[in-house]
A and B are shown apart, each in its own frame.
Chain A
């Protein structure tokens, strides 16, 4: 399985993602934002970080960079595109997934482990996962998911919520909403479910010596789903 991780000026989780993908069997290539064409890929990842210093709006500049036209075409042809954290912010700015990410409700940068619920499994990302509650890491200042009422209705109608913030039992209540996101939303699919944007960082949970291994479960399952 071939993957590509795009590096934008200011990306800082690109190498972590490269290590994670290679660890679980992907042959990953790093792709520079100013390149014209994606290499042949089964999965494209937009990594976390602070592309273009978060100028104007997080992800807005990166969403217009040269490589993105190729990424958008790849997504529109059904290719898997996953955006993590700043990558999610880039995805919403391209319009590939609905909504926007506003500043966190309490105006603080959040950096901690959280529990998330993944029970939407009719897609290549989460199919065959044998549990619903995962411990992932979040680190963001703008993760407060917002969309219009019409968009929310469409998201619900098409079952596009990918991930919810929850407690360790999978309860999605406001108390466990770290950033003020509508309906505790931590991740969203496009309609076709080949594009996934999420704030949590599974690539930070792939080794015992890091803060956990739930990310390993996600990546192992992902590559098996793609084989």
Chain B
């Protein structure tokens, strides 16, 4: 195919460099500098997609990120990417793309029958139609809608590309590189401040690249070139192109999505990360994001060949691609006349400009008239002809209020319609920054009003649509922003002089009438092209009571497609406002939220894309041994803990059975390094512990340990652990693995805010120590071999004592504490000695058949003893009394955190949910953790739930399943039978003591 719509001279593409590409299976040629959209237009291809609901043929409407129609799937295989806008995809050799929203092809679309049945696709259609019967939703409606309205396909393969994130700080961030943005960056850059200028396009210059404006007597592109060269020469300025600022968050935090290699083609530059998210913190921000042209809302305004006026101008001027042979311009403002003029100059036939205004006498219209273009005033396009391409328009005079066609229709043949309904400042980032908007009646658009952050808007983004204002405002804002950060004196450099042609006022005109009232007859007035929302839909929504703009938006889905309503929001709002007969400012606007344009998940994931770097995996010093010896692992927060150590042929059940037996009959070894450890010292340390634990600490002798509960002020258990007295004023506290950081913050909060007079220092030493627990009847024999110089006799090293010594040749602190009920020692050594000690234990323990065990066996053993795990038996709503541990609450020591709450009416209730043991009738049946409990087998619905199973295991030592549960009034119901429910299965269980094994504690001394 030849590029029959390519002009022969002018523009910014390089006609000498041909690029081959494929679209919907057909081969085409474009040139260097093209986007996919401009190359298609150069080849006369306008039909690029089908509409979302009714599958009407759709053409390229815009030339930028606001494009609602030309949504494509780029490439196939693992690098395939759905839902890109053809207007932003830069052409590269071999590019292959297809339309997303048509099946089986764009020219023959089966679902186009929807268009014939189009009357049923009205506002709220999904809510009204597919909800009932609900059983059909997942099986019938949802998959069918997905295929018909599918927005591209995600690749199933692993993404072969890499992505990264970069954090940067600057004084002044400028978003947008049109005249205002370039001026701002120059003014700020010259002060020496760190400046960032980013733009979503592959070239800097913004609209100056699209138009024929004159600056300082020369084409504006020359000024752009000079300005960019000056910026590039500044070390303090960072220039980012192909970089879309998509989020403006609190405290001038701006995220930018940079496409680094996409324009080379997939996989072409493997040495670079494909895309990058920049995280900027900027002291000051200048938003020069420009504006979007609004389409006029007229009958069948979606025929391929219908385009926004300025987009047509851009395709001709910048890309050398004519939108068609013969076009009609339709407008309510002066800006479209420069389009008509440029297109005529580029070689297109523009016979007519249809203007909704009664009086049209501006400089631009008059210039157009001089070029022989007919200007028809007080008129509109009331119908369009053609299906897959515009064939002509019918125009007529229309009433000034938009209510009706007043004159007779006249037909004009054309293949292109260029429409301009005015301009909407691109206030998305401003709005994201929580800036407040104001409706400007004269300019017929929302403009920034009150800033919420350290930010300035300039140029078209502020509603200043003329070039000189953009240049002046940019320079002033750049200088002022730099000054606010301590750079420069704030004086704006003299800005260059633009050739300004004065424009006459725009006329607000929201819906152009046709033969029938809007919503009747077959003609459709599209407002949101991507979601197929028409003016009639919005009017219906208003009639059905959707008076809030937020309700209208969700009911009709206006502005909820991937283009986020960049073209449709203001038109939709204005139509709602006229329906409600309320002024636009009274109706209000919806909120713009990030991202400004869609961002790849890969880019958002960054280096974490493959999962292994997404979150830290914390390992103990013995991790490598566990790994080499076949352990399976269990994540506990960020930690990876050994779960169990299956031998060949063993499943988890067999491994745990073997491990538990070793602990009760021989000796086992556990890696307990993850426990939180806090060093507490100072003359008030014991007093402090007395305040934050429920039990008494003042009289704990040096050399001894004690188990304690911490409560929050509401009286509920929050953490537990064993704390040892190392010296008169020195303690070693342990916390749960998951609670370590939270407990330290909490201790510091009380010390720093409530009791600053207490002389206590708390310091985390969690990882100073690695911890091994050696348990079982043979533990003492092993310890005696490991540490021949230490005395492990019951008399000299009793239960709940600690001793310093040398174990396996290294300094160690040994605690005689037990979480299994059997004789047990916890050995703490320096982190870097952990692996050595573990290996030495395995070596010396071989003759006792020492058995490494993991968290599962630990859980079974502690459950046999009825020991609670905070976070498993508790969920922040249990007092110590609820857990049957009244003994841990000191009665006479006075105040401690949470104590006062014990006598609150609710906390003191006798029938609270309390911790009990459960035994199943069938000893082999293991209850499901989380199973709900009821007093009766059969219950009225809703059944009164009286608690749930918190822990449940098979106990090899008892040859019986065991469970713990929280049961309402449980302590008073010992021996009673209740019922556990698991997805329809009902199990009869008996309430028993949670201490299943060795209730007298006879085994702890070995």
- Do chains A and B stick together as partners? no
Chain A residues at the B interface, C-beta cutoff of 8 Å: none
